[in-house]
């Protein structure tokens, strides 16, 4: 399947887009495998499309300039990705390992179509686990005073390892605006609550105190405002009066793992498109 490509399109909706794109692909002998599209506001707003197709000998370097003509006509924001070049991830973790373990296992099982290029942590306890998986591990200690230098070091590593996307797998550190600016729409965080409920620290304790009957987790792109970026995926699990904060944390780990893994999988398969502060997910 190395000759598969994906075309991602966002543009103002107007008649003729699908006709133009599909005609273009047909004329270039590109055989469509999957195609998803979405028109907001019943065809009156924005238009989004994801097409997965066999390149069938089509050369992406020829495709791009030719398609740019159509793209310009419709004012498209677009990109073409090739599955032959795997998406490269960096995973940032703190002490907790559950989200990391899940991603490592998904990668090993072949369910996550990406390379885990490196793991960065402000602790060392997960070093052996990562080493056993044959993945470079870097310990970058973090504190308010260390932060500028630590982030600079992290950015160097991300550059050196040609990372496309950063996954905060319970990293528990707030990234600076400068850091975020380097990876727009390419930093995914797992927050251990059903956002927008329980923004910030200790959401399980807050959930326990409020007496909710379902706990949740949210995977979202990181933006300047804490826990307010575009949501990619959420899920919940039922709890009741028998469950204390420790139970919520334990049960919550399941949801966090699954929700983050789903979000990362969709992201690396180019299934997530941005629409303002919201996402279109062609899952």
Tell me whether residue 36 is one of the annotated catalytic residues. no
**Site residues, its own copies (CB under 8 A):** 15-16, 18-19, 22-23, 25-26, 29, 31-35, 37-43, 54, 97-98, 101, 105, 109, 111, 132, 194-198, 210-214, 216, 230-236, 240-242, 244, 250, 253-254, 258, 275, 277-281, 283
Helices (H), the chain: 17-27, 60-74, 98-108, 127-132, 147-160, 177-182, 203-210, 245-268
End-to-end CA distance of the chain: 19
Minimum CB distance to its own copies smaller for 32 or for 181: 32
Smallest distance from the beta carbon of 16 to its own copies, in angstroms? 5
Q: Contact 216/253 with Cβ under 8 angstroms?
A: no
Minimum CB distance to its own copies smaller for 150 or for 203: 203
Smallest distance from the beta carbon of 137 to its own copies, in angstroms? 16
Alpha-carbon gap, residue 89 to 148, rounded angstroms: 22
Rounded to 10°, the helix 245-268/203-210 angle is: 130
Side by side, which strands form the sheet with 77-82?
A: 31-39, 46-54, 4-12, 77-82
Minimum CB distance to its own copies smaller for 80 or for 214: 214
What one-character DSSP code corresponds to residue 276? T
Alpha-carbon gap, residue 44 to 34, rounded angstroms: 24
**Cis bond upstream, residue 196 (ω within 30):** yes
Q: For residue 130, give the 3-state DSSP assignment.
A: helix
Minimum CB distance to its own copies smaller for 126 or for 158: 126
Instruction: Pick the catalytic residue from 13, 164, 227, 270.
Output: 227
Rounded to 10°, the helix 60-74/17-27 angle is: 160
Smallest distance from the beta carbon of 135 to its own copies, in angstroms? 15
Q: Contact 130/150 with Cβ under 8 angstroms?
A: no
Smallest distance from the beta carbon of 196 to its own copies, in angstroms? 5
Minimum CB distance to its own copies smaller for 90 or for 255: 255
Smallest distance from the beta carbon of 159 to its own copies, in angstroms? 31
Tell me the catalytic residues: 227
């Amino acid at each position: 399947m190395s000759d598969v490509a994906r075309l991602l399109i966002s543009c103002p909706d107007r008649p003729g887009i699908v006709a133009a794109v599909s005609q273009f692909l047909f004329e270039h002998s590109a055989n469509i495998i999957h195609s998803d599209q979405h028109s907001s506001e019943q065809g009156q707003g924005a238009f989004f499309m994801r097409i997965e197709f066999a390149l069938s000998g089509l050369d992406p370097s020829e495709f791009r300039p030719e398609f740019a003509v159509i793209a310009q006509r419709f004012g498209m924001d677009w990109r073409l990705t090739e599955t032959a070049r795997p998406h490269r991830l960096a995973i940032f973790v703190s002490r907790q390992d559950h989200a990391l373990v899940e991603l490592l296992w998904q990668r090993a099982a072949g369910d996550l179509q990406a390379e885990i290029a490196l793991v960065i942590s402000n602790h060392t306890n997960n070093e052996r686990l990562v080493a056993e998986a044959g993945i470079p591990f870097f310990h970058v200690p973090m504190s308010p005073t260390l932060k500028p230098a630590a982030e600079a070091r992290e950015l160097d590593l991300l550059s050196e390892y040609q990372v496309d996307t950063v996954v905060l797998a319970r990293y528990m550190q707030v990234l600076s605006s400068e850091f975020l600016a380097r990876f727009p729409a390419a930093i995914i965080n797992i927050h251990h609550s059903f956002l927008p409920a329980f923004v910030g620290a200790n959401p399980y304790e807050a959930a326990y105190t409020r007496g909710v009957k379902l706990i949740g987790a949210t995977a979202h792109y990181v933006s300047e405002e804490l826990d307010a970026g575009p949501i990619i995926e959420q899920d919940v699990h039922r709890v009741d009066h028998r469950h204390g904060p420790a139970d919520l944390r334990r049960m919550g780990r399941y949801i966090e793992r699954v929700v983050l893994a789903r979000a990362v999988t969709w992201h690396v398969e180019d299934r997530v498109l941005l629409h303002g502060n919201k996402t279109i997910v062609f899952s």
